[in-house]
Structure 1
């Protein structure tokens, strides 16, 4: 039969609509993917899925036509970002279509694009010749948009609604969704991103994140909607399969180098050197097999070939010393959400721990550094001077109030008496306040800027509290603002994280040691009431997204705010433990101790009536 002149054209046209070939994703990556020199990975060279065998099945799920959404509830640094990138490479090479990868912020998206995505695309031989030149001005290889043959990849930030809007996509990769904002002016960014895939019947949605807070974890919510798969590994001794959890890790007291896994069936000891072979033979099993379209995977650091059990145990022993470091370890290493120990700190417990002594007359022996936090109100300055020891052990040394309008220079001159004072030390000599942060939010911002600008030489700086801080940092780097009074140095504080850190330390039962907060008996009731004036509760916003929020239960919370700023001031001067030791040496005053003044032009703080 003769072939008409139009048949090849028609065949070529309809070939575009044929389904993609059924290929094994991990085999395709093993064949075509290269990790170039300098790539942020423990290994360079040809990609080998056999290094991380637990990623093999999640990779295949992204090519399974019966699976629409893949959820990765993974701890940190075990391959979730490489899973997203590998899926994008496969999509561009085998099943091209519009794709989008979304990170918490545009800054993180740009870093991902530059450090990971661009090198991964350039080094993949199956995509050779399909990329724009990185040296050209073409938009085909821009930071936030890349064209790969017939596919386009948009790199977006969840905090930027504009970067998510009006972009229909078939492949959607969402990274670290627990760090995404709960809502923007356009709504829930995750719902907005998923809506971009609505027009495609063969859409693929991949979500990956390390969990954060119990009850406010997006990735945990999605995992609960999935078929909930866990990794079942065989015991090298008896052959029985089990899910390796933290409670299966054992070690001799004080000897983390003896860490091993104990089989729950035969009680046999599985050495660290046997882990790789054990997890190479592991299988993913679903606890909710009736769920078909959402495939969920949960794994933690024990599966990683890059982590040793003794290192994991050593990190745990160090982290458990303080609640905030334990929280980070549970999130990042165990891949579990942190459950707050209670809605609020019991005031009676704190009052029972209040300590006698006149810390104004002589600072306790373990105090090495003094900082100050100043909360500004319309008619007064609320002040807290805090002493710090090793491990951020703290003493609430002096709580003061200065009546007056913060726009009036007179009230700041009275504050100077506190900031310039030499505080006598129990061991002799005296300490000075090394840094002060002043709240610049509210109605008196200009007055604060003018006041702190004149006191920069004494390390008195402006600060703003913000939920989530700046890029997730507890204390931001300094920023120099241009004001009508001249340049002003300002810091951004993550107020939610500071309050959580303080409340965690208030729960420390020990009477001394790292993180302990010492409260004086003088004015203890009011101090405690203000420290516990807010509680952390889970609330759903108008988009239905759960998040943790600090809710006031009392009118006065100035001591809590001031302590947060004093801690921020310490982190400004000493962001690391080594930095604290050097700061303590610098702060040790060589002058003789000053006698306590009998008369001061300061109204000493007293409990509100």
Structure 2
């Protein structure tokens, strides 16, 4: 009789079991599958505590799973606020900790926010999910660096350049990038610094997400530069065709007699294909049957993939809520920018003050450089002093603040500028040559040098600087208060730069033939045009409120000629440019004195006849 082999059984200790489990390959799961199987939401951080369910936000599935696409290196998510972008990052972090331990970094706008999210979002997620909790090394962890089996998770604020440049990482997550600070004189911008940390990993992954702010903001530029851009399409419940949710198809009554609340409550969505009425009750099923589709492809290779989605897709926001927010914000630029950014996921552009280099070049006249137009009545100049050179501009002014740049350039020193300002400029009509009447020179850099120069050229030059506080006037005349300077007691001009930038941008849109147009000479160069339109006006957070402020479109761009034009405009105001039109008004003729009577002439002739 054949005997079966005897198998001796030994008890397996806990450490042996863990050692054997560590040798097992990870489960074959996508990020979204992992989230649905292992992610637990706690009541402290979620309105729907319990297991994660992809069906609640099905549009996040494609975004999360893109992390595992071997062809994709960079994922960009441009989204409205509160659409689940942070939750997608948390799910990706959980997947990495359990399935693919690798050095990982998440960059937030500030250290304070990073610490808050670590304490209130990431650690609670880890502790609520058993599969993550057993890998968490709590004793070795710090607030901004969490330790796990086989990896660390570093949380960094974009305002800490030294922390961004200190670690090699494979997975990089950049959250709310449009709130990051710009580059400084000593450091590159935080996104560039963080990217450098991934260079040693060939299989690196970079995830960028944010609500957009302006067209030159980080996330919008990243989206435009993607190889592939995808939008979420959903089936119409009436015709079955795949459509995109867009503002243009949200319909509400046009009865102006109704309150905006009542109009908003009656809002519905009209299918752009069949015109069928779509209500909030249809949205859940539409989202579950939706899919990401390519709307733009810049390259056949999908190395950088972008996703764009707006508030219409949120399962927690009604069509009426969107319409109500629109009505509340439409007459307030500050609130309306928030609606465009945080609800429509689109960049804000103030079209009234939008300028670009092409607009400047359209303002070229037939008058060549260094020639004064026939209508000009005075010349002013502005100078911006930099560390390595000096920028200058000369502008001719006429009635109704009509103006034209007749010359601009760079000089090595103020001595070279002195030569330019003392030249005589020929008139187009052959009249008497003109000289610069007044020049304002920025005294922000190398103040003593500028003060001394202006004191030596006081007949045409005044020191100036942009006002640091709020001003109601365009400019204010003060005095140099520096006893050690030769310019002590000399007039100095404080300039409200914001008001003059408003004026310049607004007048750029006037046609050359219009009164008050802002023009440039024939053959004007593009560098000048780029610099004079290097800023735009956007909402910037100041304390507890947003303030419309002029900021540079690109942190690396130059705006020196714009500063020069601001000072030239302030100089023109000092010379009463706004009153020049009075010279054109015809004075009423003076009636001739009546001819004296004959007897009066006889008396004058014979005054001594008595």
Q: Same fold (TM over 0.5)?
A: yes
- Provide the rounded CA distance (Å) in 2 between the counterparts of 1:499 and 1:82: 43
Q: CA deviation at 1:319?
A: 2.2
Secondary structure in 1 matching 2:265: strand
- Provide the rounded CA distance (Å) in 2 between the counterparts of 1:88 and 1:324: 35
Q: CA deviation at 1:605?
A: 7.0
| Residues 100, 407 of structure 1: alpha-carbon distance in 2 compared, 3 angstrom cutoff | farther
* Contact residue 97 and residue 151 of structure 1 kept, 8 A: yes
- Provide the rounded CA distance (Å) in 2 between the counterparts of 1:68 and 1:307: 32
Partner of 2:55: 50
Q: Which runs of 5+ in 2 are unaligned?
A: 8-14, 257-262, 364-398, 402-441, 452-462, 485-493, 510-515, 519-530, 537-552, 581-610
Partner of 1:405: 481
- Residue correspondence of structure 1 range 107-256 to structure 2 within 5 A: 107-133=112-138, 138=139, 140-184=140-184, 185-253=186-254, 254=256, 255-256=263-264
Secondary structure in 2 matching 1:38: coil
Secondary structure in 1 matching 2:172: strand
Whether 2:332 is the aligned partner of 1:327: answer no
Q: CA deviation at 1:202?
A: 2.9
Whether 2:343 is the aligned partner of 1:312: answer no
1:91 aligned residue (88, 96, 107): 96
Whether 2:562 is the aligned partner of 1:553: answer yes
Q: CA deviation at 1:224?
A: 3.3
Whether 2:42 is the aligned partner of 1:36: answer yes
Partner of 1:292: 302
Secondary structure in 2 matching 1:228: strand
| Residues 224, 244 of structure 1: alpha-carbon distance in 2 compared, 3 angstrom cutoff | farther
Partner of 1:301: 311
| Residues 188, 294 of structure 1: alpha-carbon distance in 2 compared, 3 angstrom cutoff | same
What CA RMSD, in Å, does the superposition of the two structures yield over aligned residues? Answer: 5.0
- Provide the rounded CA distance (Å) in 2 between the counterparts of 1:114 and 1:158: 18
| Residues 36, 13 of structure 1: alpha-carbon distance in 2 compared, 3 angstrom cutoff | closer
- Provide the rounded CA distance (Å) in 2 between the counterparts of 1:274 and 1:186: 50
How far does the alpha carbon of each residue in 1:83-135 deviate from its partner, in whole angstroms, 9 at most, with x for none? 111100111011111111012332332222223222222222211233244xx
* Contact residue 145 and residue 154 of structure 1 kept, 8 A: yes
Q: CA deviation at 1:557?
A: 4.5
Partner of 1:276: 284
Secondary structure in 1 matching 2:59: helix
Q: CA deviation at 1:335?
A: 0.9
Whether 2:72 is the aligned partner of 1:67: answer yes
Partner of 1:76: 81
Q: CA deviation at 1:145?
A: 0.4
| Residues 352, 330 of structure 1: alpha-carbon distance in 2 compared, 3 angstrom cutoff | farther
* Contact residue 102 and residue 173 of structure 1 kept, 8 A: yes
| Residues 319, 505 of structure 1: alpha-carbon distance in 2 compared, 3 angstrom cutoff | farther
- Provide the rounded CA distance (Å) in 2 between the counterparts of 1:163 and 1:17: 34
Partner of 2:28: 22
Q: Which runs of 5+ in 1 are unaligned?
A: 3-8, 354-374, 388-394, 409-437, 440-464, 466-494, 510-523, 527-532, 539-543, 562-603
Q: TM-score, normalised by structure 1?
A: 0.58
Secondary structure in 2 matching 1:202: coil
